[in-house]
Structure 1
Amino acid sequence: MHLQERKKKAIKRLTRGIHPVYLMAENNFPPLPGFIPVKPCFYQDFNEIPEMHRTMCKRLYHLWILNSTTLAVNLIGCFAWMCGGGGATNFGMSIIWLILFTPCSYVCWFRPIYKAFKTDSSFNFMAFFFVFMAQVVISIIQTVGIPGWGVCGWLATITFFGTNIGSAVVMLIPTVMFTAVAVLSFIALTRVHNFYRGSGGSMSKAQEEWATGAWKNPHVQQAAQQAAVGAVQGAAHQQEYSSAPDYDYNYDNQM
């Protein structure tokens, strides 16, 4: 029992200085209930982001949550639009917006900026800028609210007040949320761009990373994880053996 306790304490002491990414490699996002057969697809831990970038990365994550929530509220607004006599096309399109753009926005622009802040990768910064500029344009279109596009923007909401005031009031909620997403997205794009330019990033640096393959190296990451875990286990076993009592039996005296 004493050896087991010493072993646990040794492992805890040795792993205290190792970064969590090496100790918890299992995917944890999105957090799904255990009864669902689908498992999380990504590993996400803001503690692995350098402290100077962590706040900005969290704000972009909150922006993604706001965007996804807005698409869900837009679904309700389009349902009220349909119930008020606006037709089923917008409601059907709102379902597509929610199902398609919620995971795509996470994969296409949040994951690149997450990796960019984590590894200071110019390639991932460029990927974020390219996709997020499209996200800003889409947010502006959603704010405008072209009828038939499945979004409750200002144009669709204001024109529907003459048809059904109750439905238009419900539509006004996602309209305001789309406006907030568009404004915050533009601010976020500007701030990330200013930070990237101020840190010495450039297109040539991103091209160099692409040419050398430095923007992704899963084999190196896996080897580092295995080496860290192996070092912990090896040191723990070594300490266990060194702490075990060494009995020196003298068989000649016993005989």
Structure 2
Amino acid sequence: MSDFDSNPFADPDFSNPFQDPAVTQATRTVTSGLEEYNPFTNTKPAVAGVATKMAPTSTQPAIMKLTEEATAYTQSQTQFPLTHDPRTHPLQQDRAQTELLRRQEELEKKAAELDRREKEMQSLGTSGGRKNNWPPLPDKFPVGPCFYHDITVDIPVEYQKTVKTMYYLWMFYAGTLLVNIFGCLIWFCVDSRRGVDFGLAMFWFMVFTPCSFVCWYRPLYGAFRNDSSFRFFVFFFVYICQFGMHVFQAIGITTWGNCGWISALTCLNTSILVGILLILIAGLFTSCAVFSLIMFKKVHELYRSSGASFEKAQQEFASGVMSNKTVQTAAANAASTAARGAFKGEQI
């Protein structure tokens, strides 16, 4: 047991390994380096006995060098600064001023139109109603105007261009029918067998000119004026028939009074000059057919965007029929007759 109680480190012959000069020097070097180390700086602790070359450090934050792309971006920002105030840059100020001028012009146009309509309504109130002004006939003419026609007064601004185009298309068609009469007359002068064509040409002009105005232009005019779905349906139904007539007249079957393509090619065998004239008239009928198809599509798009529908047309037709005095009188008479018959039957 004496061996266990003895202290081996107290032996004078025992050599402490931690007292070795090499170990003590290394421990002293590491300890001094850790005490001087600051983690918030970019400098590393210098180890004693080691010669190192270190660049001078700076405590300022790092700055990224500008590249060419960053320079171009900053230049674009300098030229067109991102701001919500249009008055800070001349170009945006000009655009804003142009937009304000455009809106001001639109407001002035609408104000002028409202003033004109108001004056028109005042004049109508003082005169007792609107006076018919179409067709524009002289005062001494035995027959007066039959309709009131003023697109700028009756039609809203957004539909005026479309209605004017349809009015010009009707005038173009009427002029084509008139030219067709002269074409058939010249053809009759060259070929005496074409008297039927000349007579039918006059008949088509006298029938189709007023009927086209009354049957499809006036419903279109009233549809845009009153936003009437029922009149839109009337226009579409009649205008499809009108388009078919344009195609038929452009074809130009002989003995039908139309200077179409078939008639023009037939006339070339008799007279080349008259045949060329008929070809020009056939081109006019073809133009009527093409423009009619284009305007039909445009009016249909406006009709779909206006919110009109077949149900609305039915309601308008029913309300219009029931508000008619003639229909009301007939219904009242029928109801009274039925009541009397029922009363007499009960007495018997």
Give the TM-score category using the shorter length: 0.7 to 0.9
Percent of aligned pairs with the same residue?
A: 42
Q: Is the 8 A contact 1:121 1:206 kept in 2?
A: yes
Determine helix, strand or coil for the equivalent of 1:87.
Answer: helix
Matched, 1:113 2:220: yes
Distance in 1 between residues matched to 2:217 and 2:248, nearest whole Å: 20
Q: Is the 8 A contact 1:89 1:148 kept in 2?
A: yes
Residues 1:22 and 1:149: Cα distance change in structure 2 (over 3 Å): farther
Distance in 2 between residues matched to 1:138 and 1:77, nearest whole Å: 18
1:198 offset after TM fit, Å? 2.1
Partner of 1:55: 161
Q: 5 Å matches for 1:119-130?
A: 119-130=226-237
Farther off after superposition, 182-191 or 81-90 = 81-90
Q: 5 Å matches for 1:121-200?
A: 121-200=228-307
1:173 offset after TM fit, Å? 2.2
Q: Is the 8 A contact 1:70 1:177 kept in 2?
A: yes
TM-score (norm 1): 0.75
Distance in 2 between residues matched to 1:141 and 1:22, nearest whole Å: 47
Residues 1:21 and 1:101: Cα distance change in structure 2 (over 3 Å): farther
Determine helix, strand or coil for the equivalent of 1:88.
Answer: helix
Distance in 2 between residues matched to 1:61 and 1:185, nearest whole Å: 12
Any runs of at least 4 consecutive aligned residues in structure 1 with deviations exceeding 3 A, and if so which?
214-218
Distance in 2 between residues matched to 1:20 and 1:215, nearest whole Å: 30
Partner of 1:88: 195
Distance in 1 between residues matched to 2:159 and 2:257, nearest whole Å: 36
Distance in 2 between residues matched to 1:65 and 1:133, nearest whole Å: 18
1:79 offset after TM fit, Å? 0.6
Distance in 1 between residues matched to 2:261 and 2:320, nearest whole Å: 45
Residues 1:21 and 1:109: Cα distance change in structure 2 (over 3 Å): farther
Partner of 1:32: 137
Partner of 1:99: 206
Equivalent position amino acid for 1:135 in 2: Q
Distance in 2 between residues matched to 1:22 and 1:79, nearest whole Å: 50
Distance in 1 between residues matched to 2:229 and 2:131, nearest whole Å: 26
Residues 1:174 and 1:216: Cα distance change in structure 2 (over 3 Å): farther
Residues 1:87 and 1:111: Cα distance change in structure 2 (over 3 Å): same
1:38 offset after TM fit, Å? 0.3
Q: Which of 175, 185, 188 lines up with 1:79 in the alignment?
A: 185
Output one character per residue of 1:79-133: Cα deviation in whole Å (capped at 9) or x when no partner: 1111110420000000001111101100000000000010100011111001001
Residues 1:99 and 1:16: Cα distance change in structure 2 (over 3 Å): closer
Q: Is the 8 A contact 1:29 1:40 kept in 2?
A: yes
Q: Is the 8 A contact 2:267 2:275 kept in 1?
A: yes
Determine helix, strand or coil for the equivalent of 2:118.
Answer: coil
Output one character per residue of 1:17-68: Cα deviation in whole Å (capped at 9) or x when no partner: 6252563400000001223110000000112210011000000000000000
Partner of 1:225: none
Distance in 2 between residues matched to 1:18 and 1:217, nearest whole Å: 29
Residues 1:76 and 1:216: Cα distance change in structure 2 (over 3 Å): farther
Partner of 1:44: 149
**For this pair of structures, how many residues does the alignment match?**
204
TM-score (norm 2): 0.56
Equivalent position amino acid for 1:208 in 2: Q
Structure number, greater radius of gyration: 2
Distance in 1 between residues matched to 2:187 and 2:313, nearest whole Å: 45
Determine helix, strand or coil for the equivalent of 1:213.
Answer: helix
Q: Is the 8 A contact 1:77 1:173 kept in 2?
A: no
Output one character per residue of 1:166-214: Cα deviation in whole Å (capped at 9) or x when no partner: 2212212211110100000011111111111122222121111101118
Determine helix, strand or coil for the equivalent of 1:166.
Answer: helix
1:217 offset after TM fit, Å? 8.3
Q: Is the 8 A contact 1:113 1:128 kept in 2?
A: yes
